[in-house]
Amino acid sequence: MSIDLVEKANSSITAELDYVSNLVIGVIDVQRSKEKGYETLVKENLCDELDELRMVYEGLPDFLEQVSANENASFPFSLECRKAPLIVYVHQIGYLMCFFDEKISEALLIGLQDFEFAFSEDGEERRFYYHTQKTRELDNLLGDIYHKILDMERAIIRDLVCRVLQFLPQLTKAVNFAAELDCILSLAIVARQNNYVRPILTEDSILEIQNGRHALQEMTVDTFVPNDTKIRSAGRINIITGPNYSGKSIYIKQVALVVFLAHIGSFVPADSAVVGLTDRIFCAMGSKSMTTEQSTFMIDLHQVGTMLRHATSRSLCLLDEFGKGTLTEDGIGLLGGTISHFANYDYPPKVLLSTHLTEIFTENYFPQSEHIKCCTMSVLNPDGQTSNEDIIFLYRLVPGQALLSFGLHCAQLAGVPSEVIQRSASVLEDIHSKRPVRRMICDNLAAKDKQYQDAMAKLLAFDPRKGDLNHFFEDVFPPEA
């Protein structure tokens, strides 16, 4: 543990903090609500008046049961009820006489002139509530006792809060230290559990990671394939191609996480790591936001624009599929222009760029430069077919370029229906062969085509000067059964 952390602990844990702790513990009893069955927090023996109110409230059921028995005995008539009437206490309303199942008839109410109907309640059993002379006496004698208790407790807690807030600076300092210590312990536990290593920070603008891993992704899969990263003076702009599902996005994110963790003082998920001091990490990762009135592509443009204006040789720039959110030609142009901008630096930032726009390799979209390095995520494809079911993703970054996306295979892995994949393969084959795309054969469409062809043939053969027009329309458009 560092001396700095020990000094922070020593300065954060003070006598004032101990005083506040004892102050709160002396007033609050967090278990009281569970034990008593109603909302109450203040300890007993702290306020005599509050304790007296609580004693009355907790003894209220037995008291009301006795009062109810006396009232029932004093009725001027016998009540033939399944359940005897009962005086109840309702929060914020007061005391009421409750009759079950049936409302008191108008004839009986004549002899009960002090009874006043309040409201009824439907549930498992119907209940009818009345104000009576006795309930009015209880209202005057006891009042809304539950809310008297709540008001008194709230006043005590407000006073406690005011006294605690006098020590706000000390509490804030202690909370900040606790949060920092929690982060440090969490990072230490994860580093030990997942075999992280201590990175080497250097003032040189380089990045060398051996068998780097994604800190989160490796915890969600059975086997994670690590990858190396080596960025020195040459090859600082890494253009990464590869099929969908091959791990391009995971790779560039894992590099950023290693750099970030190294800069906050954490161990990193790798066998070894030498990380040059980095001033900023720029990201254009196709993020979406429901709160901004911008499209995903516009957000990408803003992020890339900020990157191009402010990136230095010590920056790390991540671009994931930049240019895919617009027309292919526009996307290729923007991507090529971005690469050219970075390539014209004397000492470019460290750039990791993944893309499916492989057309940038076939034309002069960016200059030949020692700063540019092409990599691909390797795939095992025995016969070189784009739709082969035996394609195996190796998730290993190797030098080179990939011109195939294996999109149909990825669609199959994603559970796209087989008929959709078969149709896609047919369209793809026609496009590659430069043939017109064959129309999909469908029984419903074929029947419609036949119907239209027959109608056209009859129309061409019809002579309006000799034929019966009504008969012609009935023949071409027969009435539905």
Nearest to 287 by CA among 275, 299, 278: 299
Between the alpha carbon of residue 170 and those of residues 17, 157, 158, 391, the distances in Å are: 7, 20, 20, 62
pLDDT reported for residue 384? 54
The three-point CA angle 355-359-361 to 5° equals 90
pLDDT reported for residue 415? 76
The C-alpha atoms of residue 441 and residue 9 are separated, in whole angstroms, by 76
pLDDT reported for residue 294? 72
C-beta neighbour count of 412 within 10 angstroms: 17
The C-alpha atoms of residue 232 and residue 208 are separated, in whole angstroms, by 8
pLDDT reported for residue 349? 95
CA dihedral (212, 217, 221, 226) in degrees, to 10, reads -10
**In the chain, which stretches have pLDDT less than 70?**
1-2, 76-82, 111, 287-293, 381-390, 403-405, 430-432, 437, 439-445, 479-481
CA dihedral (130, 136, 137, 138) in degrees, to 10, reads 70
Q: Which residues pair with 100 in a beta bridge?
A: 127
φ, ψ dihedrals at 434, nearest 5°: 60, 40
C-beta neighbour count of 468 within 10 angstroms: 11
pLDDT reported for residue 373? 92
The C-alpha atoms of residue 321 and residue 327 are separated, in whole angstroms, by 13
C-beta neighbour count of 204 within 10 angstroms: 13
Structure token digits, residue 45: 């023996």
- 351 contacts 237 by C-beta, under 8 angstroms: yes
pLDDT reported for residue 291? 56
Nearest to 168 by CA among 18, 16, 382, 32: 16
Structure token digits, residue 215: 């800190």
Per-residue pLDDT of 69-82, as tens digits, reads 888 887 766 666 66
The C-alpha atoms of residue 369 and residue 279 are separated, in whole angstroms, by 24
φ, ψ dihedrals at 145, nearest 5°: -65, -35
Between the alpha carbon of residue 264 and those of residues 196, 259, 404, the distances in Å are: 14, 9, 39
- 124 contacts 111 by C-beta, under 8 angstroms: no
**Helix, strand, coil percentages in the chain from 3-state DSSP, rounded to 5:** 45, 15, 40
The C-alpha atoms of residue 108 and residue 110 are separated, in whole angstroms, by 5
Using DSSP, state whether 400 is helix, strand or coil: coil
pLDDT reported for residue 390? 65
φ, ψ dihedrals at 9, nearest 5°: -65, -45
pLDDT reported for residue 201? 96
The overall pTM is greater than 0.85: no
Between the alpha carbon of residue 241 and those of residues 118, 235, 357, 363, the distances in Å are: 77, 15, 9, 16
φ, ψ dihedrals at 352, nearest 5°: -120, 115
**Sheet arrangement for strand 372-380:** 281-284, 316-320, 350-354, 237-241, 372-380, 392-399
pLDDT reported for residue 293? 63
The C-alpha atoms of residue 127 and residue 386 are separated, in whole angstroms, by 74
- Placement of tokens 């600082």 in the chain: 236
Structure token digits, residue 137: 């006496």
